[in-house]
Structure 1
Amino acid sequence: MLREQHLINPETCIRCNTCERRCPTGAISHDERNYVVNADICNFCMACVRPCPTGAVDNWFMLNRPYTVAEQLGWHQLPPRVSKPPTILRPPTQLFRREAPAVATFVSSKRLTQEEEASEVRLIVIDFGDVAFPFLEGQCIGVVPPGKRSDSRPRGLRIYSIASARDGEEPGTSTMALFVKRVIGSRPDGSVFHGVASNWLCDLRPGDRIDVVGPFGETFLLPDDPEAELLMIGTGTGRAPFRGFLQRRLRTAPDALGRQHMFFGTRTPQMFPTLDSLLSNPEFLPTKELTYSGAAGWEREYVQDRMRQRAGSLATMLRNDHLHIYICGSRGLEEDVDVALAEISQEHCINWPVLRQTLHSTGRYHAETY
């Protein structure tokens, strides 16, 4: 007798642990290689599907015998897909896979942070040429750095959020922008390590080839409703999807009733790369709140601290039936923002647990942390 089974794709999983944390039955577990689903415990509640940033958990099979946990732990890739629930509606995803990627060409790289900053962030532009690679604002792509790992296996997939609108970095082109932070750090023994993917991308030269997988992501998307009000809260490289949102809005609905509000945190002012002319237009972006957690001469402040200072205006936003909340950044940000919104709601007689559930059920609460 056929039985449906939920499985996680090891090729596109970035091991953010979101699915395991969100699973209410404990069906999801992991080892040093794979995240897996216990078919005897999974109840298909879908709690893990919406928060997954790459769609790796959104795989469904009809089988005579479910795959065991031990079998899944040994996989390098999923078996051929057989079926998926017809009730799940989503934009096109995973059009290009690792075994048959889209080939893009590196166009340009521009340093956005100051030269003296230890943390280097670049705006990388790639061009798909004649290859049709449709995507939406808020989605991600995967790239595979060249070379092999120490065990002679291919290097793992690296995920980057798209920083452009769907019609290209330049309107009407096949170009796409990414924010890439060059990773250089120290190990406990004092030796220095260099992030494989970030340094490779930052050092590419015009004309170099990039194999691209994806796109990924079904929930961190810009609504088509021009009346939708956007509350964007982020840190670090979480700025990328917001740049795409703002580009899209400015190109297609600059006079829309829905407005854009941003709360964004970095360590120093120099680590906040420009979002072009979008941030300098107070009519288009009426609320721009930047906080700095490690800058000399600045008071240490996090985005949730500034949100509490703007409790009145945020309470007004929370009462807007067209509000969409986007949270993108480092792990822990969603919990910190949730606490701040709960306090603001209590202060202004808003039932945050009920409102949060409404936002989730209507697809207006979007969180992507890593």
Structure 2
Amino acid sequence: MKILHALNWIKFAGTENACVQLCNELVKEHEIYLMSDKNILKYIDKNVKLIEINFKKNRYNPIFLHKIAKILDEISPDIIHAHNAKVIEIIYNARFFMKKKIPLIATKHTLEFKKNYKLADLCVAVLDETKKILPPNSIIIENGILYKKPEKIKKLDKFHIISSGRLSAIKQMDVVIKALSLVKFDFVCEIFGQGEKQGELERLISELKLDKKVFLRGFVDNINDHLASCDLQIIASKFEAYGLVAIDGIYYSPLMISTNTGICERILPSELKFSATPENLAHKLDEIHANYDKFVQIFAPIKAKKDEFSVEKMAQKYINAYENLIKDFKK
């Protein structure tokens, strides 16, 4: 099958990661094109054919739309898979300039309502909550990731905590830092990610005199290695549409706790959830530190189900969806 993915690159975060994981898995058996920014090149398999497009241009510009249509006509994919609301509209409008109409499928990776999804021939939600804001012609396909055997990093001599994600208000890294200023045990915490709140978080760490305990490490390509080498992973997000970082935790972390959001709302028992205030999180951390083996055992059955979140399963569900849409399109 010839499949073209279209992604408006913002930065390498959840949506971009999900698209890359899918493309890299599908290219093992299919011809895959990815229409996106050149910045994504280092993340994709060498067999994925990148078409450099700046989707930030005016989506109503007929010259730009004609350019997109010409590219699509030349490739002539069996199906087009869009990963952002803006891209859906661009592809939909470009189809008016094309020689033949190609079916358009779109995945909703966030919980922000966007009316553009009604333009797709089929919508995919990553969770039940996401499906509620999509048109009736929607199905659910949960995200998956590719397992990479981690390399152990030297074990620290203190209780080692990791939190990873975009440094934005919604991820609530400030709650993690404030909670750590209240705990009753010694620790080291590494926060991985980039974002607009970095300066604010650096100041907070300094104000709370945590400079020798909490470290902002930026973005890394080997988060699996770090998670496999820590004692605890914290997800403090206000909400997640899905949360690939949680799947990372299931694959690699010995123990993970989270707010009641995204995939964690469904897969984690109450003992591994907390409400996102510094006091509540600090209490949970003290409890975990005092009874660590007990909490690791609680998390073990969730880790045992990691194959349910494999990229292979996700890719096969998408292939089934593509084939069904193509079949319906020909009727």
Q: TM-score, normalization: structure 1? A: 0.29
Larger proportion of helix: 2
Larger proportion of strand: 1
Q: TM-score, normalization: structure 2? A: 0.31
